[in-house]
Structure 1
Amino acid sequence: MPAERVNKLPLDEDTPRPVVVLDQSFASGARTRWHSHRRTELLHASGGLLVLNTENGTWTAPAGHALLVAADVPHELAAYGCVSMRAAFLSDEILDGTMSRDCRVIAVSDLLDIALKALAEGPLLYDPAGRGGHLAALVADEIGRAAEIEIALPVPQHKALRKLCRELIQTPSLAHDLDGWSEVVGVSRSTFTRRFRAETGLSFAEWRRRLRMLHALTLSADGVSLRLAAETAGYRSTNALRDMMRRTMSRTISKAAAPAPLQRA
């Protein structure tokens, strides 16, 4: 059965408040059309898995994390597993220049989760000088303090490398070695590795490990057993998948050094 296409989400980012939070629900397999927003958007799911695609890459938010999408970035969103979600729209003023011009995956603290819930349950036109205004400021502050996990899957701009990555995203278990992929692209091994790292910030091996982990996470969120998810994604065992997940979730980006934005196509 094809994934459900969501033509229009019940969004209201024009509400004249610095932070607007709305409750949403996605059925498993739901996917939005490509769209963008005039404000920075935060997407936090209480269950399931959210996967965000842009022209420049893929970001996945596992449990306890949220997607941050910069304003005016075209994207599509896919949901795996039954997802109850909150969408928050944040003004530039309240973010105070802390948001990069791309996307991020951040850890959601208990305080941020509670503040989002409280704003979603209150009136859209809350009193900026009252409880709603205080909650909005708390949301922005917690986002600014949140740890970011290095889970992005950037896509190269080089035509042949981009085509290869799209093919791998469709079939993560393809089994060529580095020499085989260099031959497919039509360059030497050294040129392949140098250009791939220059365009993605990752070695090809690290990029592929990350892709396989994300593929396994989506399968698992859809109800596939961890063993079968690991096997389908190209892992030799569930322990290998668990180790990769543990290493990825433990790597956070320092707040002192913001990541450089990916190049646009």
Structure 2
Amino acid sequence: MTQIRHQPIAPTRTQWLASGAAIDAHRHDDHQIVYAGRGVLAVTTGAGSWVAPGTRAIWVPADTVHAHQAHGDLELHLVGLPATVNPLGLRSPAVLAVSPLLRELIIAYTRTEDDGSPERGRLRAVLLDQLRVSPQQPLHLPAPTAPLLRTLCDMLRADPSDGRTLAELGREVGASARTLSRLFRGDLGMTFPQWRTQLRLHHALVLLADNTPVTTVANRCGWSSTSAFIDVFRRAFGHTPGAHPR
């Protein structure tokens, strides 16, 4: 069994991770904000995975076992908060929109030492205020618990471009489309098309972090055309893949 590290205090710092590098499963007694100033960050827990490009941050509540994965060279900004300080009121991980102001606050706060000065205290207060008004983003890819869904989802993870219908996939795993549709809603809280779109968006972010051309990304992720991919990507992230921060 993999040893899960317990780090009581969640650090506040900036660090760099090379593309493909990982931080193994661990937990803190503190909450943590995790932000990628450069590259794309994936955070995985037992409940699924969250992916954040440079316009998003990930909220990791206290005592959540989680692991980090870098896609592209990653400039990682970590903000630790005591368990008694929860500006979001959230008890599960979430992806948050990062405004230009919040981005600069996170970068400034994680690149300086905590000297206990009034200036740093004011910086922290403004950062918390901005977090409170940061909207959540639907970028969670939940992990299935039902064996049938695990088999099906593993197939799609291995090839996000797989365009088979739920009925066609069901014939391979030995279940009807109706049964699988019910499992998706009950086990994952979303429909099959919603889950597959999330999977493809996650995979697209990873490919873009490796400087893969947009047309190639669209093809590898299963969109019918580059324009269709650009449209879905823009609606999810607020900008086109070509303008995606790396």
Shorter-chain TM-score bucket reads 0.7 to 0.9
Q: Per the alignment, in what secondary structure is the counterpart of residue 114 of structure 1?
A: helix
Cα distance in 2, alignment partners of residues 95 and 218 from structure 1: 30
**Contact kept in structure 2, 1:230 and 1:241, CA below 8 Å:** yes
**Mapping 1:190-229, distance limit 5 Å:** 190-229=178-217
Matched, 1:134 2:122: yes
Percentage of matched positions with identical amino acids:
31
1:117 alignment partner AA: I
* Number of residue-to-residue matches in the alignment: 236
Number of the residue aligned with 2:94: 104
Classify 1:43/1:200 alpha carbon distance in 2 versus 1 (closer, same or farther; 3 Å): same
Greater fraction strand: 2
1:57 alignment partner AA: G
Cα distance in 2, alignment partners of residues 65 and 22 from structure 1: 18
Structure 1 residue 185: Cα displacement: 3.3
Classify 1:155/1:119 alpha carbon distance in 2 versus 1 (closer, same or farther; 3 Å): same
Q: Per the alignment, in what secondary structure is the counterpart of residue 57 of structure 2?
A: strand
Classify 1:13/1:117 alpha carbon distance in 2 versus 1 (closer, same or farther; 3 Å): farther
**Contact kept in structure 1, 2:15 and 2:75, CA below 8 Å:** yes
Q: Residue deviations 1:198-255, cap 9 Å, x none?
A: 22121101111221122122111111111111111112222111111122236xxxxx
**Mapping 1:34-53, distance limit 5 Å:** 34-53=25-44
Alignment gaps of 5+ in structure 2: 239-246
Structure 1 residue 125: Cα displacement: 4.1
Structure 1 residue 13: Cα displacement: 6.3
Cα distance in 2, alignment partners of residues 222 and 14 from structure 1: 32
**Mapping 1:1-265, distance limit 5 Å:** 14=9, 21-95=12-86, 98-127=88-117, 130-249=118-237
Alignment gaps of 5+ in structure 1: 1-8, 251-265
Q: Per the alignment, in what secondary structure is the counterpart of residue 95 of structure 1?
A: coil
TM-score scaled to structure 2, two decimals? 0.87
Structure 1 segments, 4+ long, off by >3 Å, are 12-15
**Contact kept in structure 1, 2:9 and 2:80, CA below 8 Å:** no
Cα distance in 1, alignment partners of residues 54 and 173 from structure 2: 36
1:217 alignment partner AA: L
